[in-house]
Structure 1
Amino acid sequence: MQTYTSTQWLNQVLNAYSPITLKEMDSVALLNRIDTKFVFSMGRLYSLLAALRPLYRVLSVQGQRLNHYRTLYFDTPAFDLYRLHVNGRADRFKVRSREYVDSQLSFLEVKHKTRKDRTIKDRISTPAPLDDLTPESEQWLDSVLPFDSRSLQPKVWNTFTRVTLVSNTGCERVTLDTNLVFSNAFNEIRLDGIVIAEVKLDSRSTRSPFLTRMQDERIHPQGFSKYVIGASLLYDHLKKNALKSKLILLNRMTQGF
C-alpha cells in the first residue's frame, strides 16, 4: 500500500484549490483588520482544508502552494523583548530578519504591539537574509525603535512552511503554518504535528467560514508567538511560568495526543 508524507497529503488537498497570485492578493489591503490565532494538531488540518475548498483560494508563488519561510529573531543580551512579552506588557517589540524563500525576497521587520492592542509592522527590504545586524540596518532600526539597536543580538532561528488562503470575498486571509523548527548555535527543536493558524479578517466583515469551522470543531483562539515559544524552548534559563500551560499543550500535540 502506498504511503504519503504530510507534505504530499497537503499538496494533494491544495491542488484542488483555485490559485491566487501574490499580486492579486496584495491588491486587496486589509488595513483595518482583526487578527485571531489558533493552535491545533496536524491531523485536523486535512478535513478542514477539504471543507473550506469552495470558499477560499490558495496563494501560489512560483507554482508552490506550500511556501517556505526562514526567520532570525533579535533580542538584547538580557532578552528584554522576550521578558516584556511574557510579563504581559502591552507596549512591546519584535525584531526579525525574514526570508520569503520561494519569492527570493528578504526583509528586516519590526512588529510593535501598542497599548491599544494594535499591531504595527514596519519593514525594509534587504539584499539578502541577515545573519547579524549591519550599520545600515541599525540606522533604520534606530528610526523605529525606542532603544539603541546596537544592543540587539541574533537569538532564535525559525523555519516553517505556510499555506495562505484568501476568501472568495477578499475580506479575509488565513495563514496555516506547519513544520516549525527553532534553533540557535547549540540546539534545534522541532514542533512536528502542529498547526499555527492566523485569521486576518476585515473589521467590517461579519462572516468568516474559517472562524465558523473553528467554533464547530471546538478549537478555541489562543495567542502564539514564534519567537517567545522558540526562545523558551532553546534557552533553559528564561522565565517561562506564564507559558507553562501552552508548552504542555504543545508537548501533547507533538506526541500525537
Structure 2
Amino acid sequence: MAGMAGMAGMTGMTGSAGSVGFPQSAGEGGTTEPYAEALLAGVAASMPPIGLEDVPELMSRMDHKYIVTTATMARLAAELGERFLALAIEGRRQFRYTSTYFDTPCLLTYHQHRQDRRRRFKLRTRTYLDGGGRWLELKLSGGRGSTDKHRIPYDSVPGDTLTDEALDFVRDTLLGELHLIAPETLEPVLATDYKRVTLIDRSGTARLTCDTGLMFRDGQGSAPARGDLVLLESKSVDGKALVDKVLRGLGVRPVSVSKYCLAVAALLEQPANRWQPVLRRYLVHRPSPRHLAATRAPGAEPGGLLTAAAERRDRLA
C-alpha cells in the first residue's frame, strides 16, 4: 500500500485527518471540485479486486456512517492495508447510482426517522447505472439497532413508479417483519445521485461503501454535496468492524445521517435540528424551496417525480 501512503501526503490541503465529528468547511460554501472522487479512484485501483458474485450480501447488519476529508480517507485506506478488496465489475471500480425514495404525502417515514422511532422503514428504487439493473428496496430498522434490507428485482419498471406487485411486497414485508400496517399512499419524493466505491473485508463479515459526488434533487431543484468530502458507511455483522476501530483512532466519530433525510431537510425545509451540523458542513449550499429553479439533473426521470414534487410543495407551503 505504498501508493496510499503517497496519497495521504498529497491530500493535506483538503483537511486534517484529526477532524472530529465534521470536517471544517473548505472556504465559503465548500467546493464542488471532485477531489474525493479522484482520490477514491486511486484507493480502489490500489486494492486487489473482488467480483460481485463473491461479495457477501450482509442483508442484516449494523451500520455506522462517517463524513471524512480526503486526507482522512487516504490515511484510512493506508491503515486497512491488504485486509480489504475493491469491488470490480468488468474492469470498473467506481460506480454511478441513482435512488428514488418514496414516502407518504405528509412525509411519514421522514418524521419517523427524525423522531428516532424504534420501528421504521425507508422505501426506494436503486438503479445501478453502470450495470446491475434496478431494485426495489425496503430497509427496516428494529429495536436492536440493526438494519434489515429486503428487495425485489425492478428492471422493467420506471424508477419513480410503484406497481401493484411492489405495493404487495411492501405490505407483506412491513406486516411480517415489523408488524406495521403499510401506508395507504406512497409516492416518489426525491432522488439522489452519487458515485460509490465498495471495499470488502476479506473475512466476509464487513464492507465499507465510499460515496462521492452526492446530489439531492426533487424535480424542482437540487442541492450538491461538497466534492472534497466522502460519505462512508461501515457495514458489519456486529458493528465492530476494523474500519470503525481505525476511524476512532483517527479521531473521527460516527454521525447519524440518512441520504433521504438530509435531502428532505435540504430541499423541503422540514424540521431537522438533529441534522443541522451535517447540513452546514456537507452541502455546498442549502437552497430555499422558494427560490429553487425547475432543474433536471443528468439521468433524472420525467413524470412522477416532477409531478409529486410540485404537488407536495403546494401542500407543505
Considering the TM-score relative to the shorter chain, is it more than 0.5? Answer: yes
CA 1:107–1:199: 2 relative to 1, 3 Å: same
- 1:104 matched to 2:128? The reply is no
Contact kept in structure 2, 1:159 and 1:180, CA below 8 Å: yes
Contact kept in structure 1, 2:60 and 2:147, CA below 8 Å: no
Contact kept in structure 2, 1:62 and 1:103, CA below 8 Å: no
Paired with 1:93 and 1:33, the residues of 2 have a C-alpha distance of 15
Contact kept in structure 2, 1:138 and 1:150, CA below 8 Å: no
1:30 Cα deviation after fit = 4.0
1:194 Cα deviation after fit = 2.4
- 1:247 matched to 2:274? The reply is no
Contact kept in structure 2, 1:141 and 1:149, CA below 8 Å: no
Paired with 1:97 and 1:249, the residues of 2 have a C-alpha distance of 27
Of 63-72 and 31-40, more deviation after overlay is shown by 31-40
CA offset digits 1:146-173 (Å, max 9, x no partner): 3445511110100111111112333321
CA offset digits 1:111-164 (Å, max 9, x no partner): 111133232211111124422212232222222233445511110100111111
CA 1:93–1:217: 2 relative to 1, 3 Å: same
Counterpart of 1:23, as a letter, is E
Q: Paired residue for 1:172?
A: 206
Paired with 1:85 and 1:120, the residues of 2 have a C-alpha distance of 15
Counterpart of 2:192, as a letter, is N
- 1:56 matched to 2:56? The reply is no
SS at match of 2:55: helix
SS at match of 2:130: helix
Q: Paired residue for 1:130?
A: 159
1:101 Cα deviation after fit = 2.0
Q: Paired residue for 1:227?
A: 260
Paired with 2:154 and 2:162, the residues of 1 have a C-alpha distance of 11
1:5 Cα deviation after fit = 5.3
- 1:214 matched to 2:242? The reply is no
Paired with 1:80 and 1:249, the residues of 2 have a C-alpha distance of 26
Paired with 2:164 and 2:68, the residues of 1 have a C-alpha distance of 41
1:64 Cα deviation after fit = 1.1
Contact kept in structure 1, 2:59 and 2:149, CA below 8 Å: no
CA 1:242–1:139: 2 relative to 1, 3 Å: same
Counterpart of 1:190, as a letter, is P
1:62 Cα deviation after fit = 2.1
Tell me the TM-score normalised to structure 2 length: 0.70
Contact kept in structure 2, 1:158 and 1:180, CA below 8 Å: yes
- 1:78 matched to 2:101? The reply is no
Q: Paired residue for 2:169?
A: 140
Paired with 1:249 and 1:213, the residues of 2 have a C-alpha distance of 22
Counterpart of 2:108, as a letter, is D
Structure 2: where are the runs of 5+ without partners? Answer: 1-32, 175-179, 286-317
User: How many residue pairs align between the two structures?
Assistant: 245
SS at match of 2:196: strand
Task: Return the structure number with greater strand share.
Answer: 1
- 1:13 matched to 2:43? The reply is yes
How does 1:152-167 map onto structure 2 within 5 Å? Answer: 152-167=186-201
Contact kept in structure 2, 1:155 and 1:184, CA below 8 Å: yes
Q: Paired residue for 2:308?
A: none
Contact kept in structure 2, 1:156 and 1:183, CA below 8 Å: yes
CA 1:55–1:241: 2 relative to 1, 3 Å: same
Q: Paired residue for 1:189?
A: 223
Structure 1: where are the runs of 5+ without partners? Answer: none
CA 1:223–1:50: 2 relative to 1, 3 Å: same
Counterpart of 2:275, as a letter, is L
Tell me the TM-score normalised to structure 1 length: 0.86
Contact kept in structure 2, 1:62 and 1:102, CA below 8 Å: no
Contact kept in structure 1, 2:59 and 2:150, CA below 8 Å: no
Q: Percent identity?
A: 27
CA 1:31–1:181: 2 relative to 1, 3 Å: closer
